Amino acid sequence: MDEVGGLRVVDVKKSFGGVKALRGVSIEFKRGFVHALLGANGAGKSTLISICTGALAPDHGQVEMDTIPIHLPNPRHAKQNGIAVVHQEPAVMPSLTVAQNLAIEEVGAMAILSRLSPARVRAIARGKLARLGIDLPLDTRLGDLPVSMRQLVEIARALSGDPRVLFLDEPNSSLSHEETDRLLRVCRAMADGGCAVVFVTHRLREVFSIADEATVLRDGLVVWTGKGSSVTIPEAVSMMAGGGTHEAREFTTKSDVVKPAGIVVRVEGLARKNQFVDVNLEVAAGEVLGISGLIGSGRTELVSAIAGLTRPSDGRIMFGGRHRRSWKDPGQAWRAGVSMVPEDRQHDGLFSGMSVEWNMMSVCRSLGIAPISTAAQMVDRLGIKTPSLSVPVSSLSGGNQQKVILARAMLTGPRLLILDEPTRGVDVSAKADIYALIREQASEGCAVILVSSELDEVIELSDRVIVMRQGGIVKEFGAHPTSSQLIATAFGEEA
């Protein structure tokens, strides 16, 4: 083994409330190499980066820097160890100027009342930008600039400390081609200067153009690691998708139940600024429409508009025989028979301090909808494990909380059920229950829209699958597409 040093993770495991995000990952990020970290949504990339940069502590395993085990209790500590990170969501201060944002670490290190002329701040900032070879308007408030500039500021800050290891988590998701090219060149130069560069991106072609090494993660495990040149993009895609494992399916969905006569919802030319464009789709009664695509492809934004949480800027929604430009408010959609199970149940779903019963009945009661059954019946039907109906919903496990949210949606007797990541952070048995429930709803004639990052879930449950990329529908598949097809389409690498 050649001793180049770098960052090594050894048998790292991490779970979130029973859900295993990393199941024993060992990777070496060598100094002097650009390492592409690949994987579909939920493969464990972000968790791994958080552990390597001190934002999360591993449950098991360790991190070694130049073969010496290091303990990273917080991000600051990681930084002192020469580990820098460019976050997907830039951590910047929008009402400060570009120059102040760039210089903030130096400013923080100064004596508290040091005189600091704007010229000096600008000089520090310029020094950092020079390295990237870019020019930004230094005196403009950062919040007034487009997101790409914020990302450049974050990148410039990360590069400036001469890091030994540099993690870039989707650094170019909002950069132009020119800016991306420059970033890739800088990464190359950093690596040549002895830094270990770890690159996460969904734009495979770019990363393959500079990666020396690559690792593919799937379901919290390393499925492949090796030289970047020894794998082709289609091969990488099929490894990310885990091709071949889903051939045997126990369930087949009933796609023969209904067709056009039973269209429940039709969306025509729907668009919302900077989120999605010109979306056309329809869902029939008893049909499950799966929506696949990467995070940020506009999936959540689209279903939020269909459910009346946001107003689309263009297009129309046909539901219950009426055409609308948009719903007046979510309540109108609920009353008409559209139920939404949001992606983030903690923020957008549950009233965590209130009881199980209160949560289940919250929509029906506040909107005056007659519930289709009692809360107690729902607890039985969904197999919700709770000591009583009156305990706070926050005392339940994640899976049971999710079932409460599902119960709330079902109690309104929906004709269209919209599920955004319905099994996120849910354990295996609850997952099976939720799948059964979705099928049951469909077989009772409910139209279902299922948004999910879990390919198996989409493939197994959907009668049709549409794939979104960059705010538009790029392809539609019938029942049971392969996971490779979905991944390749989502990444824009379809043959």
| 146 vs 320 by CB, closer to other proteins | 146
Residue 379 binds to other proteins (criterion: CB under 8 A): no
Integer angstrom CA distances of residue 306 from 4, 23, 29, 192, 212: 53, 37, 44, 49, 44
Residue 274 binds to other proteins (criterion: CB under 8 A): yes
CA distance 411 to 416: 13
CB of 469 to other proteins, least distance (A): 10
| 57 vs 110 by CB, closer to other proteins | 110
Taking the chain, what is the end-to-end CA distance rounded to the nearest angstrom? 38
Q: Tell me the number of residues near other proteins by CB under 8 A.
A: 39
Residue ranges in 161-180 that form contacts with other proteins under rule CB under 8 A: 174-176, 179
CB of 314 to other proteins, least distance (A): 15
CB of 462 to other proteins, least distance (A): 25
CA distance 129 to 107: 17
CB of 103 to other proteins, least distance (A): 8
Encoded tokens for 320? 């219950």
In the three-class reduction of DSSP (H, G, I as helix; E, B as strand; rest coil), residue 36 is classed as: strand
Residue 112 binds to other proteins (criterion: CB under 8 A): yes
Residue ranges in 465-494 that form contacts with other proteins under rule CB under 8 A: 470-471
Is the C-alpha dihedral spanning 229, 186, 168, 296 positive or negative?
Answer: negative
Among the residue ranges 100-108, 196-204, 252-260, 451-459, the one whose residues contact other proteins (CB under 8 A): 100-108
CA distance 137 to 149: 10
Q: Are strands 288-293 and 464-469 parallel, antiparallel or unpaired?
A: parallel
Residue ranges in 54-93 that form contacts with other proteins under rule CB under 8 A: 75-76, 79, 91-93
Residue 148 binds to other proteins (criterion: CB under 8 A): yes
Q: By CB neighbour count within 10 A (0-12 exposed, 13-18 middle, 19+ buried), where does 70 fall?
A: middle
Among the residue ranges 143-151, 251-259, 283-291, 411-419, the one whose residues contact other proteins (CB under 8 A): 143-151
Residue ranges in 176-205 that form contacts with other proteins under rule CB under 8 A: 176, 179
Q: Which of 7, 104, 303, 393 binds other proteins (CB under 8 A)?
A: 104
384: CB partners within 8 A, 6+ apart: 356, 378, 396, 400, 403, 404, 407
Helix (H) or strand (E) segment spanning residue 218: strand 213-218
Task: Give contact residues for other proteins (rule: CB under 8 A).
Answer: 75-76, 79, 91-96, 100, 103-105, 107-118, 121, 144, 146-148, 157, 174-176, 179, 274, 277, 470-471
